[in-house]
Amino acid sequence: MVQRMFELMYEHRGVGLAANQVDLPYRLFITNPKGDPKSGEERVFINPVLRHPRGLVEAEEGCLSIPEVYAPVKRAEKIEIDAYDLNGQSVHLELDGLFARVVQHETDHIDGKLFIDRLSTTAGLDIRESLREFEDEFLAGRERGHIPSDAEIAARWAELENLRT
């Protein structure tokens, strides 16, 4: 499952991917800030907890969930993360720069937030038309049967939850 997540992330030129972005109901995300399977370090974070945010920096972000939409987002410059890796080993890291941004972005995903939820009013207005176009494409995909309904997604998640218990 995790290997397939990395394949999808690289296929779409990403640097992080959360489990719930690919129909998995787990508090898990993957990262490789280099976005290249041949360089950088692939990391898996399970049940992450972010601590001790310091500083504030604004930088442009995009998201595999909303392709081709980018906007400036303010995030902590430095953070600490506690999580588990695939072997069940405890992980504690102090992060800054792009890695800190990616970890915050992906943690937001598993907490039910998107980067657009963190935009200033002005930045939100700047991308409003792009979001409308994305929504129109999404709804058209649903009408054509290429994207499951909310009920189908909920049923799939319930099925996966039952497998875990």
Catalogue the active-site residues: 106
Task: Write down the residue that tokens 């999580």 correspond to.
Answer: 83
Encode the chain in three state secondary structure: CHHHHHHHHHHCCCCEEEHHHHCCCCCEEEECCCCCCCCCCCEEEEEEEEEEEECCEEEEEEECCEEEEEEEEEECCEEEEEEECCCCCEEEEEEEHHHHHHHHHHHHHHCCCCHHHHCCHHHHHHHHHHHHHHHHHHHHHHHCCCCCCHHHHHHHHHHHHHHHC
Radius of gyration of the chain from its Cα atoms, rounded to whole angstroms: 17
